[in-house]
Amino acid sequence: MTVTMPNSLDLNGRPQDTRIVVAMSGGVDSSVTAALLKSEGYDVVGITLQLYDHGVATHRKGACCAGQDIHDARNVAERIGIPHYVLDYEDRFRESVIDNFAASYVSGETPVPCIECNRTVKFRDLLKTARELGAAALATGHYVASRRMADGSRALFCAADSDRDQSYFLFATTREQLDYLRFPLGDMTKPQARELARRFDLAVADKHDSQDICFVPTGRYTDIIGRLRPNAIEPGDIVDLEGRVIGRHRGIVHFTVGQRRGLGIASSAPLYVVRLDAESRRVVVGPREALRMDRIVLRDVNWIGDGALDRAIGEGLEIFVRVRSTRAPQPAWLRAAGRGYEVELVAGEEAVSPGQACAFYDAASGQARVLGGGFIQSATAKNATPGAMWPLVEAMRG
């Protein structure tokens, strides 16, 4: 009997008999992913998504998904000798990402569109296309790792390069998606990836990383919101924690929880945005200590840890959570609450904003396992006074 050994992607079969679709954004990471798999003998097909009418973003430094990126991805595919296709996903991107982005901001949230793009356009729609092309897997240039567990399922882990780790943006990846996805750069550092790009003689080896939201070519997200929701940006009051009016604003979409600059208020002590009330169009400000939250209510929770979520939680599960992509995971307890779930932060966190993600981990550092996460619906402080028991930070979805 012939035993087929798994290849480098942990798939059964010889590389030359294994088709892999690579999501090529035109950047160095996805380009290296495609070149690396091609060099290992895989049947690689590159796909680049046209996600929006890039217009003035075409030549704007720091903007991803622009026309130049499509051109770069096509050149890389030609250089390494693989077929390359550009798919028009503008309609689905607008419906799944841009429209939700605008609605979230108008409701007083601070959304993370990259998460929505990953879990819908890329890992739902593109994954389906990859299957239709007969691919055994969809590979991306994300800095995360996935590994096969003892029961045969795959788990998600932080990248070896902690400075580049993108696990926060992938918390919503499902078990079924993980089984099909591969992340060849998960155990590499960024300098190693760039060195591989030079070794493969790729023109994008020294290309700058994208930093901005791809569909905000001017860098001002309020331009997008104003165009999509022209009647939603209305002026209102800026109030202190007791509700006293201390100023006026041009629209809550211009603010985010934790913001200090640009408030337009003269004060003897620094003031920060601690709450956005979309219903009353109020921006609530207060001292820095008012930003510290201890309890977070979550929505749309995704669990990719072992077993069923409710069984894993029991009376409370000790985990580590990240409430902003730039912050380190902090110790917390995950509990069932009513018909949903909540997180109790052991040491509290500042500027916990509705709309942001709360990603779960099994450790505070290293290549911790990603256990899932949810979107922040509201947050409160333990020491809230009886007159201030309403959430200092609350999502105001209709």
Give alpha helix (H) positions in 261-370: 309-313
For the segment 319-361, what is each residue's pLDDT rounded down to a tens digit?
999 999 999 999 999 999 988 999 999 999 999 999 999 999 9
In a domain, 375, yes or no: yes
In a domain, 282, yes or no: yes
pLDDT, mean over the chain: 90
58 and 193: one domain? Answer: yes
44 and 131: one domain? Answer: yes
Q: CB atoms < 10 A from the CB of 38, how many?
A: 20
- What is the reported pLDDT for 211? 66
268 and 378: one domain? Answer: no
User: What is the domain extent for residue 30?
Assistant: 15-141+184-199
In a domain, 78, yes or no: yes
pTM of structure: 0.90
- Closest among 328, 309, 249 to 285, alpha carbons compared: 249
- What is the reported pLDDT for 389? 32
103 and 137: one domain? Answer: yes
Question: Given the structure tokens 């820095």, which residue do they identify?
Answer: 288
- Closest among 356, 238, 247 to 293, alpha carbons compared: 356
Structure confidence at residue 384 as a pLDDT band (50, 70, 90): low
CATH code of the domain in which 350 resides: 2.40.30.10
Q: CB atoms < 10 A from the CB of 398, how many?
A: 7
Give alpha helix (H) positions in the chain: 28-39, 67-80, 90-93, 99-106, 113-116, 127-132, 175-180, 190-199, 221-228, 309-313
In a domain, 247, yes or no: yes
- What is the reported pLDDT for 284? 96
In a domain, 168, yes or no: no
In a domain, 259, yes or no: yes
Structure confidence at residue 1 as a pLDDT band (50, 70, 90): very low
57 and 92: one domain? Answer: yes
Q: Which of 172, 199, 226 is the last residue of a domain?
A: 199
- The two tokens of residue 156 are 């998600």
The catalytic residues are 117, 214
Say yes or no to pLDDT of 397 above 90.
no
What is Dmax (Cα atoms) for the chain? 81
52 and 102: one domain? Answer: yes
238 and 328: one domain? Answer: no
Give alpha helix (H) positions in 262-333: 309-313
30 and 120: one domain? Answer: yes
22 and 130: one domain? Answer: yes
- What is the reported pLDDT for 385? 46
- What is the reported pLDDT for 57? 43
Q: Which of 156, 172, 199 is the last residue of a domain?
A: 199
276 and 352: one domain? Answer: no
User: Structurally, how many domains does the chain consist of?
Assistant: 3
In a domain, 366, yes or no: yes
189, 161 Cβ separation under 8 angstroms: yes
Query: Buried b / exposed e across 67-102, counting CB within 10 Å, b at 16+?
Result: ebbbebbbbbbebbebebeeeebbebbbebbbebbb
